[in-house]
Amino acid sequence: MKEMILDIHSTNIATLKKKIENRDAKIGVIGVGYVGLTLSVQLANKGFEVLTIDKDHFKIDQINKGNSYIEDVSNEELYSLVKKNKISASLNMDIISSYDVLIICVPTPLTVNREPDISYIEEVSHIISKYIRPGQLIILESTTYPGTTNEVILPILNKSNLEVGKDYFLAHSPERVDFGNKMHTRVNIPKVVGGVTSQCLEAALTLYKQIVEVIPVSSSTVAEMVKLFENTYRSVNIGLVNELAMLCNRMGINVWEMLDAAFTKPYGIQSFYPGPGVGGHCIPIDPFYLVWKAREYDFSLKFVELAGEINSNMPYFILEKLTYLLNHNNKTLKGSNILILGVAYKKDISDYRNSPAIKIIELLKKSNASVSYHDPLVPEMKLSSKDGHTLYSLDLSVNNLNTIDAVIIATDHSAFDLDYIVENSCLVLDTRNATRKLKNKEKITYL
């Protein structure tokens, strides 16, 4: 009897591996935002049949029509994969039993108290536990605190009475893509993979080896920690240069000149630049996941918390600097017309989630300044749910620019005609060193 059970278990992994290697494995990607859609396209390009599943009717409808809604996936690429039946989309989770691999790419935001909100992961895990069947591989790609796969997902899936590592396989492989980065893309960024058991690792490695270089680690918890370390490393270093920017400002030193010179050192230093604060789905959020988990172990992550504090203070610093500059022009912030140039959280992308520009706009409004923005990639933007306002990108006509008292360059999109903008503005506060190549810098002040 025991031998028979062993046989069934080894059949499960052997069959799954063979299906993956032969591209016969059907893959379901749950949550098709930025991460899920790019992953689906990558898998489909390698010959897998991919079902994308999301709660969002708009996204499902767009995918089925072959329309992309993110910059890193072109309409042509998606359309051709949909036409070849390599990618399809559904709102329905009840068909997941017929898929061999399920990859979870749902959001992992913070609660209002800046604690991890893993409710999306829990919700999807409960649904999977209803439909799971022997031979399936479940992978979490969402960023989360170390222990989530083992301590949260595993107990939920175990309610199915199937045994992990034998009947089904569970692993974590964090998404490391940097959207908008043309040099380091999904195709050449190695994938860190950790399994709940060695069989789980083997199954997940078999899948990811088909699409990219893999870095196996000893557990799903290590893989989760790797991702949080990577983003915390960025947050801490950005915090350091932001703090130096504030000191240089007080000392009358151009921080950009200083950093450019420092980064010529060929070893022991890596380039990070200051800015109006951090944004997006990773840097402002992930360190808080680590800080929260560390507390469970009576451990306070001092560097990490301090960097978070400095980075979230940057919009306030920008406001102080703007007030000072307006004063010098005999103007007050109250009643001034301020234009924010670029609201996406980084260059050349349309994603403005958690963008520091949002905080700057909110602070300006609180000070009774009149605020508008221009961003060719973000035609309209919603402020926080508290505010509920929708703003629309302002056309940069000479007439419009002439009504503006100060321009804050918050994002350095390549599309900006900075010569034209500076020439037709009275005052420019450049938080990104975007105007460094301009000849006439008279109206410009740098962070």
Ligand X SMILES: NC(=O)c1ccc[n+]([C@@H]2O[C@H](COP(=O)([O-])OP(=O)(O)OC[C@H]3O[C@@H](n4cnc5c(N)ncnc54)[C@H](O)[C@@H]3O)[C@@H](O)[C@H]2O)c1
Q: Which of 142, 219, 220, 221 binds ligand X (CB under 6 A)?
A: 142
In the DSSP assignment, the letter for residue 144 is -
Nearest CA to 178 out of 269, 273, 278, 282 is that of 282
The stretch near ligand X (CB under 6 A) out of 103-111, 187-195, 262-270, 315-323 is 103-111
Residues between 322 and 351 that touch ligand X (CB under 6 A): none
- Beta-bridged to residue 217, according to DSSP, are 194
The stretch near ligand X (CB under 6 A) out of 120-128, 355-363, 389-397, 439-447 is 120-128
The stretch near ligand X (CB under 6 A) out of 54-62, 152-160, 209-217, 291-299 is 54-62
Residue 282 sits in the site that holds ligand X (CB under 6 A): yes
Residue 32 sits in the site that holds ligand X (CB under 6 A): yes
Work out how close the CB of 172 gets to ligand X at its nearest, in angstroms, rounded to a whole number: 11
Residue 287 sits in the site that holds ligand X (CB under 6 A): no
Q: Which of 25, 106, 137, 404 binds ligand X (CB under 6 A)?
A: 106
**From its phi and psi, is residue 19 left (phi > 0), alpha (psi between -120 and 50) or beta?**
alpha
The stretch near ligand X (CB under 6 A) out of 55-63, 189-197, 377-385, 397-405 is 55-63
Which sequence positions are flagged as catalytic? 282
Residue 54 sits in the site that holds ligand X (CB under 6 A): yes
Residue 101 or 394: the one with the smaller Cβ distance to ligand X is: 101
Work out how close the CB of 141 gets to ligand X at its nearest, in angstroms, rounded to a whole number: 6
Query: What is the DSSP track for 3-41?
Result: HHHHHHHHHHHHHHHHHHHTT--EEEEE--SHHHHHHHH
How many chain residues touch ligand X (CB under 6 A)? 27
The stretch near ligand X (CB under 6 A) out of 21-29, 49-57, 78-86, 241-249 is 49-57
Work out how close the CB of 353 gets to ligand X at its nearest, in angstroms, rounded to a whole number: 8
Residue 123 or 305: the one with the smaller Cβ distance to ligand X is: 123
Q: Which of 29, 53, 283, 344 binds ligand X (CB under 6 A)?
A: 53
Q: Which of 7, 21, 24, 56 binds ligand X (CB under 6 A)?
A: 56
Residue 19 sits in the site that holds ligand X (CB under 6 A): no
Rg (CA), the chain: 24
| Coil vs helix vs strand at 186 | coil
Q: What are phi and psi of 15, to 5 degrees?
A: -65, -45
Query: What is the DSSP track for 31-53?
Result: --SHHHHHHHHHHHHTT-EEEEE
β-pairing, 87-90 vs 49-53, is parallel
Nearest CA to 256 out of 267, 268, 242 is that of 242
Residue 172 or 321: the one with the smaller Cβ distance to ligand X is: 172
Which residues, 6+ apart, have CB-to-CB distance to 153 below 8 Å? 121, 125, 138, 140, 170
Residue 172 sits in the site that holds ligand X (CB under 6 A): no
DSSP H helices in 22-149: 34-45, 57-65, 75-83, 119-131, 148
Report which residue's Cβ sits closest to ligand X.
Answer: 33
Work out how close the CB of 434 gets to ligand X at its nearest, in angstroms, rounded to a whole number: 22
Per-residue contact flags (x/-) with ligand X for residues 197 to 216, judged by CB under 6 A: --------------------
In the DSSP assignment, the letter for residue 395 is P
In the DSSP assignment, the letter for residue 172 is E
Structural contact between residues 51 and 77, judged by C-beta atoms closer than 8 angstroms = no
In the complex, the residues that contact ligand X under the rule CB under 6 A are 30-36, 53-56, 59, 105-108, 120, 123-124, 142-143, 175, 177, 179, 280-282
